[in-house]
């Protein structure tokens, strides 16, 4: 009496071998006619891929058959078709030809043609982005303008966003959002400056320091708080050594991100200037630190 064989998962090589012993598996194989198709699904529990051919036939490709490594969704492969009464249409000896999504993305490198992808997880020093069924990578530095500490992950994760294809690193497609962020930032900057009026008061944050003052951000723009606002006797003809001392004091006291209450003192279409009350409750701490730093240098 022949012993029955139970298959918990598809193992094509095992099917072929056992079929030589048990012909009642009703196995047929056409090794003369190769087929091509796309990896359309990955079924982890069943341990096989689904391969869709150009005439929409579905073939099953066992993980055990992928001796040269697993395939990715979108891979275009060549294989030997096989039919098993138990498992249906199966694939043998798969050979990687190309990845259709990868080729499509490669053709967009260096162009301004955007793609839309879904950001589905944080991974390493960036995010995983799904384009169609191909996973790309968005580094943190390409997801934000300026200080990475200000990166708001909730504005990126679990969202469909626009990207440009930046490069291909060993079949890993790197994306960027920086051009879109710059365009959006420029528009918001312009709109905010248009809405500001001389005399408007707002609580801003130190964006950067320079030898002649401090740039303070509003929400989407920033204005200059000139050094004469906290050192009235300052003038451009001061010795270089004195200017250096003043700049060092500015750097020590006006830390990036520190909050200031400022007043719009002048503006044009693209920029604006600021003034402040150094004795106000909000500003006197930083002003005191500046005077103290100036004395110590």
Q: Cα separations (Å) of 159 from 119, 127, 144?
A: 6, 12, 15
Q: How confident is the model at residue 16 (pLDDT cuts 50, 70, 90)?
A: low
SS3 content of the chain, % helix, strand, coil (to 5): 25, 40, 35
Q: What is the pLDDT of residue 32?
A: 46
pLDDT of residue 154: 83
Residue 148, pLDDT > 60, answer no
What's the CA gap between 119 and 97, in Å, rounded?
28
Structure tokens at 123: 């991974």
Q: Which pair of tokens denotes residue 250? A: 């500015």
**pLDDT over 70 at 14, yes or no:** no
The better pLDDT of the pair 218, 82 is held by 218
Average pLDDT over residues 186-202: 93
- Across residues 156-165, what is the average pLDDT? 93
Tokens representing 107 are 């053709």
- Asked if 274 contacts 265 with a C-beta cutoff of 8 angstroms, the reply is yes
| pLDDT band per the 50, 70, 90 thresholds, residue 199 | very high
Name all domains of the chain by residue range, CATH numbers in brackets: 12-100 (2.40.50.140), 107-181 (2.40.50.140), 196-296 (2.40.50.140)
> How far is residue 190's CA from residue 184's CA, in Å, rounded to a whole number?
10
Closest CA relative to residue 83, chosen from 74, 94, 73, 92: 92
Q: Give CA angle at 56 (55, 62), nearest 5°.
A: 120
Q: What's phi and psi for 74, nearest 5 deg? A: 95, -10
Helices (H) and strands (E) in the chain, counts: 5, 16
Q: Model pTM?
A: 0.57
Classify residue 64 by its DSSP letter: G
Radius of gyration of the chain from its Cα atoms, rounded to whole angstroms: 32
C-alpha distance from residue 1 to each of 22, 27, 33, 156, 163 (Å): 12, 21, 36, 63, 64
Paired tokens of 141:
């530095």
What is the rounded average pLDDT of the residues 10-23? 48
Q: Taking 60 as the threshold, does the pLDDT of residue 109 lie above it?
A: yes
d(CA 226, CA 228): 5
Q: Is the pLDDT of residue 156 over 50?
A: yes
Compute φ and ψ for 286, nearest 5 degrees: -70, -40
């Amino acid at each position: 009496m022949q012993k029955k064989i139970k298959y918990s998962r598809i193992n094509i090589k095992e099917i072929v071998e056992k079929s030589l012993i048990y012909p009642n598996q009703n196995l047929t194989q056409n090794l003369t006619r190769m087929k091509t198709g796309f990896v359309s699904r990955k079924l982890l529990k069943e341990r096989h891929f689904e391969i869709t051919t150009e005439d929409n036939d579905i073939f099953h490709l066992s993980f055990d058959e992928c001796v040269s490594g697993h395939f990715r969704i979108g891979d275009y492969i060549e294989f030997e078709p096989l039919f098993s009464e138990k498992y249906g249409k199966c694939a043998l000896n798969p050979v990687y030809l190309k990845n259709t999504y990868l080729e499509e993305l490669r053709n967009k490198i260096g162009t301004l043609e955007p793609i839309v992808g879904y950001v589905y997880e944080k991974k390493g020093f960036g995010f995983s982005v799904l384009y169609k069924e191909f996973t790309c990578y968005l580094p943190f530095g390409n997801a934000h303008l300026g200080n990475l500490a200000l990166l708001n992950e909730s504005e990126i994760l679990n969202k469909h966003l626009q990207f440009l294809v930046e490069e291909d690193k060993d079949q890993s497609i790197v994306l960027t959002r920086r051009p879109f962020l710059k365009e959006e930032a420029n528009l918001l900057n312009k709109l905010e400056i248009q809405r500001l009026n001389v005399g408007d008061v707002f609580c801003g944050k130190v964006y950067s320091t320079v030898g002649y003052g401090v740039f303070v951000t509003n929400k989407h723009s920033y204005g200059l708080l000139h050094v004469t606002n906290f050192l009235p006797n300052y003038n451009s003809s001061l010795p270089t050594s004195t200017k250096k001392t003043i700049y060092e004091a500015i750097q020590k006291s006006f830390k990036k991100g520190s909050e200031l209450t400022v007043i719009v003192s002048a503006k044009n279409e693209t920029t604006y200037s600021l003034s402040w009350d150094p004795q106000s409750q909000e500003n006197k701490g930083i002003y005191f630190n500046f005077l103290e730093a100036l004395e110590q240098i």
